[in-house]
Each structure stands twice: as C-alpha cells, then as structure tokens.
Structure 1
Amino acid sequence: MAVRRVRPSRAVGVAAAAGAVVVGALGGAAAPAAAQAGDGGGAPLVTDFAALVDQTRCEALAPLRAAVVPTAGNSVTGFVLMAPVWRPASASCGTSVKATLNNLPTAGAAHGFHIHTFGDTTKDDGTSAGGHYNPAGVDHALPLEAERHVGDLGNIEVGADGTAEYDQTSDLISLPHVVGRSVVIHADPDDGGQPTGNAGKRLAQGVLGYMETE
C-alpha cells in the first residue's frame, strides 16, 4: 500500500514561518486584537511582536523605593516611588515618579528635587551623594526640556499642611540604571540655571532600592 503524504494547511504554514503566535511566546498571554491578523484560515498572527515584547519587558521592571531621611538640622521625611509605565500611544516605556514628603518648612514653597549619582548617605549634609545623575553629560534643565540630566526632576511644592506631593512620568529614567543612586530634596527652588539649578543645600536624601512587592 502506498503511503499518502499530507501537506500542512496554508494557515499553519504561514503561522509557523512567522514564528509569531503569541500564545506560549509570552507566557501564555494572548495578543491584543489590534496586534493580530488572520490570513483567511483563522490563524492569529502578530503584526507587531517586537512592541509586545517591549511592553512585557517594560512592565516586568522592578519598582524602586527610597525612604527619605533628613540631613543634619532638618526634619524632612517621606518616600519616593519609581515604577515602569507602558505607554501604548508612543510604544515607549516611561518611569512614574511619585513622592510624598512631610515636615517641609514653608507652605507654598518649591524645593529642587533630583536623582544624584551615588547612593552614599554617609555625610550628614547630603554631599556624599555627589552631583546630579547625568550619564549623557548634557546641561541641566527643568523637566519640560527635552535635553536635561536624567536626574532633573524639577521641583516639589509644599502644601498648606507642610506636606509635598509629586507625581510625574519621566522619559529619561531607566529603572535598572538608577537603582542604588540617591534622591535629594534641596532647600531652594530649582530655577533651571546652570550648572544644577541653584537649588541650595540638601534638606533630605534617600537611596533608591528594590522594594518588596506582593
């Protein structure tokens, strides 16, 4: 008896050639409808697999937290939280930066807020944290400027009760590159001037580290 050879269907052949069926490729997650297309045989094909991988990697980045403690002679405390944010419109991974600070001296005042290069808090005036984190070696600027230090977070403003809240998303911060670095709260506003915004002495500092998550 002759052996009959069965040819695979066109749908299966296209899917295998593309190597892009999402189920199983990303831990069983299904692709969004917008990222799938049929070839007439009903087989789902991913049209932008790279973007899906980038989203998965973005959302898998570990968040960071810094417990903010006062420098000598000050009383500012609080925390800073950084976490990944995937933005579908631009297919980019941003970093959410949120902070809550207490015991700031003057209601309505603004205080310079930056990521500094070193996670060294051994000096009680905050200077062992070094300067702004600036791997590209560009000029200082406020957050609305496209070219600025990675560590340039602008200002955090104090409410009537002495508490300050900050909630912005940065396009420059890469979480793996800032773990172990410091956040610093300054005495004066960051005015955007050179070289570091004229923000004055350091009121508080904290080291960004991995946090326990559920």
Structure 2
Amino acid sequence: MRRLIALGLLGVALGACEKKEPEPVKPEAPATAAPAQKTPTPPKPTTVKTEGQMPVQVYVDPGADDPKAVSHAVAVLEPTAKNDVHGTIELEQKDDGLHLKAHVTGLPPGKHGFHIHLFGDCSGEDGKTAGTHFNFEGSSEKPPDDIKRITGNLGELEANKDGVADAEVTIAKASLQGRFSVLGRAIIVHEKGNDPKSPPIGAAGSRLACGVIGIAEG
C-alpha cells in the first residue's frame, strides 16, 4: 500500500515538472548607432592679388614648401603647312611689363608681323586654330573701333638675307599672372609686315609659324 502511495506522489511530481512553462527569453538590447562623423571644412584658397589685375597667382611648383610665382615662359615656334619657319620666343616678367626675346629662322627676307593670339591651339595646318589676336583693351574677338593697335601685336620681325630674325619687345600691360596673363596662348609669325592702313589687326597675311606659351624655368 505504501509503495502505491509513493508511486502516486512521484507521478504527481513528474506531471508538475512537465507542465512547468519555460522561462521567457530576454530580448537583446538594440545596437547603439555610431555617432555621425562631421565633414571637415576645407581650407579657404589662398590668393595673391596683383595690382590692377584679378586675384590670380600661378606658381611653378604650387605644392612646394616655398612656392615660386611664374616669372619666365617660352614659346617654341613650329612651321605651319608648306613652311620651314622655326624659332624660340622667351618671355620674362619685369617691373615695366612683359619682356619678349625672339629668335626665328627660315623666314623669307623682310618684315613679318608677330602677335599673341587668343587660343593656345597650333593644331591647324594653317595656324588659324589659334584664333584672333589677343587684346587687353576690350574684346579680342570684337576690338573697339577707336584703338590703333591690338595690344597683343608684338610689332615686326625683320629677317636678313639668311632668313634669320632677332627682336626684343616689352608689352606694358601683358603679364604671366592675373587678368592679362598670356600663359597658354599662342604666338604667331605672319607672312608679311603689319599694314598701318589696316588697324588694329595689321593685316599681316598668312601664318608661317605657331607656338604655345608655356611655363619655363627661371
């Protein structure tokens, strides 16, 4: 009898264990979002203002510890189609303006106009991709009627009997910096001398050679 009672109590205990509900699973805490990073403010660009010109400064090596402003440039002249004119025009920034020193070979003897042109593009066989003369007084493409000479007009080269011409000229307003910078433009040597009866362009005829003005050591 006692054995039966003990077995009954054991069954009740086991049943109670089977009906016991499992403990609820605690939810995991939500992940904390990382704080948003602030975008750094870029430094303000440093500009150097040249008197009477736009605040633009071109450096030879802008990443150097002590960058040096461009003061020298060069244009290497290459012939247009069916010509054999070559030369070098050195440019130097001075207190009184832009000084140019030209040495050109392969020219027909006589006078030849040479000018700074609007675009630094000498890819055309006839040199016309360099555009019109570069002007500082009003528009280059539509110069004022009252000016006597385009300021990109460098005057004339005079070739000797061997076809060699040397010349030096200074343009007061031209520069390698600022608004009137000639960097990246082209210098053209023409077939004829400038015609004083055809201001302000000069009507110097076809284009014999073209060179783009680029930064030079100096």
Q: Write out per-residue CA displacement over residues 68-91 of structure 1, whole angstroms, 9 at most, x where no aligned residue.
A: 0000000000101110122xxxxx
Q: Give the helix-richer structure, 1 or 2.
A: 1
- How far, CA to CA, are the matches of 1:105 and 1:149 in structure 2? 25
**Pairwise CA RMSD:** 2.3
Note the alpha carbon deviations across 1:80-126, whole angstroms, 9 max, x for none: 1110122xxxxxx31111100001122xx100110000001111100
Identity, in percent, stands at 39
| Paired position in structure 2 for 1:134 | 135
TM-score (norm 2): 0.61
Which residue, out of 68, 71, 83, partners 1:74? 83
Contact 1:117/1:132, CA 8 A, preserved across alignment: yes
Q: Against the structure 1 CA distance between its residues 197 and 75, is the aligned structure 2 distance closer, same or farther, given a 3 Å change threshold?
A: same
**How far off its partner does 1:173 sit?**
0.9
- Give distance in 2, aligned partners of 1:156 and 1:187: 11
Q: d(CA) in 1 for partners of 2:169 and 2:200? A: 23
Letter in 2 for 1:204: A
In 2, Cα distance between the equivalents of 1:104 and 1:201?
Answer: 13
Is the partner of 1:128 in helix, strand or coil?
helix
Is the 2:73–2:217 contact (alpha carbons within 8 Å) kept by the matching residues of 1? no
Show CA shifts across 1:15-67 (max 9, x none). xxxxxxxxxxxxxxxxxxxxxxxxxxxxxxxxxxx9xxxxxxxx954211000
In structure 2, the gaps of 5 or more residues are 1-50, 52-67
Q: Give the CA deviation at 1:127.
A: 0.2
The 8 Å contact of residues 139 and 149 in structure 1, kept in 2 or not, is answered as: no
User: CA–CA distance in 2 between the matches of 1:79 and 1:186?
Assistant: 15
Q: Is the 8 A contact 2:98 2:175 kept in 1?
A: yes
Q: Aligned partner of 1:179: which letter?
A: L
**Which residue is 2:26 aligned to?**
none
Distance change (3 Å), C-alpha of 1:67 and 1:85 = same
SS at match of 2:82: coil
